[in-house]
């Protein structure tokens, strides 16, 4: 790890009194920043001009190789066969990532300075100030030049809407994180077989979403394409083409799986599966997918014109596909993040269903008014710290409400999503899918 002013030992040596000072600054700034909740003028309020009285060395770090060292540490962590939740490891890396982002992303540095948060003051990862997701619509939050950008993902929306953007100068961390999470939380049996020295067979994956070729700015399409390329069999592919659900092709693949006994993995947005039910339900079609088959859906259960409770969707899909709800996994993610969270049903089938993330992430649930953590069991604003976002901003304040879900018996604590905060705009891939497939319903 790079040495310097963010070195863990030197930071701790400054004393715990700084923690109380920084927490007080967080609280004192919050009312002014949250007043009115009007997003007009967002960049000026969130990223004010730097106070010339504040002395620091500038935005360029004296150690430009620090980011590469951090990324190597993170890639090594992501490659480990067994996830280890190491608090010291996470905090050391988180403080290093914050220092890099503070020095190389001027808008974020101004945002952090306005809250009294600098690498010299921040001594705990919980003190790293999270940026609201709305800020990704207003400014380019990246710690590198625009010329170094290799990929930009944008949030869902129409051409007339302002869309958030995640800029990347490398896909290495992004893809390593998503593949590690998918393998651990969706197909852990594959990882177990590999760890035992066995040969893992490719997976028959059908995706109810457009390919990355059709939607190059969609992080979800990129995730699916990366997953299929890494783990998919030759029979894998995408069943939404040019905005249409290719129902006959999907039927053929489901019939093949049923007849061959080869498990199938179906992936897509929640409302793509709603449209599948609406297409095949009236026909009385039913399939019996082989044991080991599973389904992953994402994007929520609210469409542009209607809502469908998760229980109703899962019950309908069980009747249609013969896949038990215990083999259906919901993913929670967003364009602004480099990592995703999945239901715990495959790694802890006996425990309560809850969202679990990789060990290089942390989730806090905060009171929207005070910024303090809520009591166990109470709803709070979901704030995510994701070290896979080393080139952008690692601390993200979402517009979602969640609640912690502890696991009996010492399993990992997770969380559940309760919905959007009141007044938050509707967004997400599921709504985009509902709009896109609406003419096919």
Mean pLDDT of 104-133: 95
Q: Is the pLDDT of residue 194 over 70?
A: no
Q: How confident is the model at residue 316 (pLDDT cuts 50, 70, 90)?
A: very high
Mean pLDDT of 209-232: 97
Residue 267 pairs with which residues in a beta bridge?
Answer: 207, 296
Q: Are 61 and 104 in contact, with CB atoms under 8 Å apart? A: yes
Name the phi and psi angles at 55, rounded to 5: -95, 125
- Which of 28-37, 162-171, 334-343, 412-421 shows the lowest mean pLDDT across its residues? 28-37
Please report the pLDDT score of residue 54 as a whole number. 38
Residue 266 makes CB contacts below 8 A (sequence gap 6+) with 205, 206, 207, 208, 273, 293, 294, 295, 296, 321, 323
Please report the pLDDT score of residue 39 as a whole number. 29
Q: Is the pLDDT of residue 426 over 60?
A: no
Q: What is the dihedral of CA 128, 130, 135, 141, to 10 degrees?
A: 40
Q: How confident is the model at residue 99 (pLDDT cuts 50, 70, 90)?
A: very high
Mean pLDDT of 390-410: 93
CA–CA distance, 133 with 335 (Å, rounded to integer): 9
Q: Is the pLDDT of residue 440 over 60?
A: no
Query: Two tokens at 288?
Result: 């019996």
Residue 38 pairs with which residues in a beta bridge?
Answer: none
Centre a 10 Å sphere on the Cβ of residue 402 and count the other Cβ atoms it contains: 25
Q: How confident is the model at residue 72 (pLDDT cuts 50, 70, 90)?
A: very high
- Between CA 250 and CA 258, with CA 253 as vertex, the angle to 5 degrees is 125
Q: Are 271 and 400 in contact, with CB atoms under 8 Å apart? A: no
pTM of the model: 0.82
- Which of 4-8, 249-253, 286-290 shows the lowest mean pLDDT across its residues? 4-8
Q: How confident is the model at residue 42 (pLDDT cuts 50, 70, 90)?
A: very low
Mean pLDDT of 195-221: 89
Q: Is the pLDDT of residue 50 over 70?
A: no
Backbone conformation region of residue 157, classed left if phi is above 0, alpha if psi is from -120 to 50, else beta: left
Tell me the DSSP string of 327-371.
GEEEEE--TT-S--EEESTTT-TTS---EE--TTEEEEEE-TTT-
Please report the pLDDT score of residue 412 as a whole number. 81
Query: CA end-to-end span of the chain, whole Å?
Result: 54
Q: With the C-alpha atoms ordered 296, 300, 301, 305, is the resulting torsion angle positive or negative? A: negative
Q: Which uninterrupted H or E stretch holds 414?
A: strand 414-420
Q: Indicate the average pLDDT of the chain.
A: 82
Residue 283 makes CB contacts below 8 A (sequence gap 6+) with none
Q: What is the dihedral of CA 159, 160, 161, 166, to 10 degrees?
A: 40
Mean pLDDT of 414-425: 82
**Residue in the structure block whose two tokens are 């090594």:** 76
- Which of 173-182, 364-373, 422-431 shows the lowest mean pLDDT across its residues? 422-431
CA–CA distance, 257 with 18 (Å, rounded to integer): 60
Q: Is the pLDDT of residue 302 over 90?
A: no
Mean pLDDT of 387-399: 97
Please report the pLDDT score of residue 2 as a whole number. 37
Q: Are 195 and 416 in contact, with CB atoms under 8 Å apart? A: no
- Between CA 135 and CA 144, with CA 139 as vertex, the angle to 5 degrees is 120
**Residue in the structure block whose two tokens are 């259960």:** 301
Q: Is the pLDDT of residue 139 over 70?
A: yes
Mean pLDDT of 254-266: 96
Please report the pLDDT score of residue 66 as a whole number. 86
Name the phi and psi angles at 142, rounded to 5: -145, 150
Mean pLDDT of 16-37: 30
Mean pLDDT of 75-79: 97
Q: Are 293 and 332 in contact, with CB atoms under 8 Å apart? A: no
Please report the pLDDT score of residue 29 as a whole number. 30
User: Under DSSP, is residue 147 helix (H, G, I), strand (E, B) or coil?
Assistant: helix
State the SS3 of 172-240.
HHHHHHHHHHHHHHCCHHHHHHHHCCCCCCCEEEEEECCCCCCCCCCHHHHHHHHHHHHHECCCCEECE
Please report the pLDDT score of residue 88 as a whole number. 97
Q: Which of 252, 304, 341 is nearest to 430 (CA)?
A: 304
- Which of 63-77, 142-156, 193-207, 221-235 shows the lowest mean pLDDT across its residues? 193-207
- Which of 59-68, 269-278, 316-325, 331-340 shows the lowest mean pLDDT across its residues? 59-68
Q: How confident is the model at residue 299 (pLDDT cuts 50, 70, 90)?
A: confident
């Amino acid at each position: 790890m790079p040495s310097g002013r963010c070195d863990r030992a030197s930071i701790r040596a400054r004393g715990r009194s700084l923690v109380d000072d920084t927490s007080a600054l967080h609280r004192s700034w919050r009312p002014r920043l949250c007043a009115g909740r009007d997003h007009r003028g967002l960049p000026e309020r969130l990223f004010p001009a730097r106070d010339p009285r504040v002395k620091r060395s500038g935005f360029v770090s004296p150690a430009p190789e620090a980011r590469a060292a951090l990324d190597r540490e993170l890639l090594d962590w992501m490659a480990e066969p067994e996830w280890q939740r190491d608090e010291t490891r996470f905090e050391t890396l988180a403080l290093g990532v914050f220092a890099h982002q503070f020095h190389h992303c001027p808008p974020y540095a101004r945002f952090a300075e306005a809250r009294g948060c600098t690498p010299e003051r921040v001594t705990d990862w919980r003190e790293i100030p999270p940026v609201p997701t709305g800020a990704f619509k207003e400014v380019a939050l990246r710690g590198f030049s625009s010329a170094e950008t290799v990929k930009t993902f944008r949030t869902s929306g129409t051409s007339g809407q302002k869309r958030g953007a995640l800029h990347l100068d490398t896909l290495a961390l992004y893809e390593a994180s998503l593949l590690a999470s998918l393998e651990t939380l969706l197909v852990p049996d594959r990882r177990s077989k590999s760890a035992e020295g066995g040969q893992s067979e490719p997976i028959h994956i059908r995706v109810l979403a457009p390919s990355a070729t059709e939607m190059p700015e969609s992080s979800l399409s990129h995730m699916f394409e990366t997953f299929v390329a890494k783990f998919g069999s030759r029979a894998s592919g995408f069943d939404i083409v040019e905005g249409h659900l290719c129902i006959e092709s999907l039927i053929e693949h489901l019939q093949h799986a049923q007849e061959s006994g080869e498990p199938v993995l179906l992936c897509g947005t929640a409302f793509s599966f709603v449209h599948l039910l609406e297409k095949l339900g009236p026909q009385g079609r039913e399939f019996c997918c082989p044991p080991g088959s599973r389904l992953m859906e994402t994007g929520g259960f609210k469409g542009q014109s209607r809502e469908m409770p998760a229980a109703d969707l899962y019950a309908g899909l069980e009747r249609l596909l013969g896949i038990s709800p215990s083999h259906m996994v919901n993913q929670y993610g967003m364009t602004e993040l480099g990592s995703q969270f999945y239901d715990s049903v495959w790694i802890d089938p006996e425990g309560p269903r809850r969202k679990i993330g990789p060990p290089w992430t942390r989730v806090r649930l905060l009171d929207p008014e005070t910024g303090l953590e809520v009591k166990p069991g109470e709803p709070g604003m979901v704030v995510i710290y994701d070290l896979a976002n080393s080139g952008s901003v690692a601390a993200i304040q979402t517009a979602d409400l969640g609640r912690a879900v502890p696991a009996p018996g010492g399993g990992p604590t997770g969380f559940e999503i309760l919905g959007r905060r009141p007044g938050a705009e509707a967004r997400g891939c599921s709504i985009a899918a509902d709009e896109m497939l609406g003419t096919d319903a």
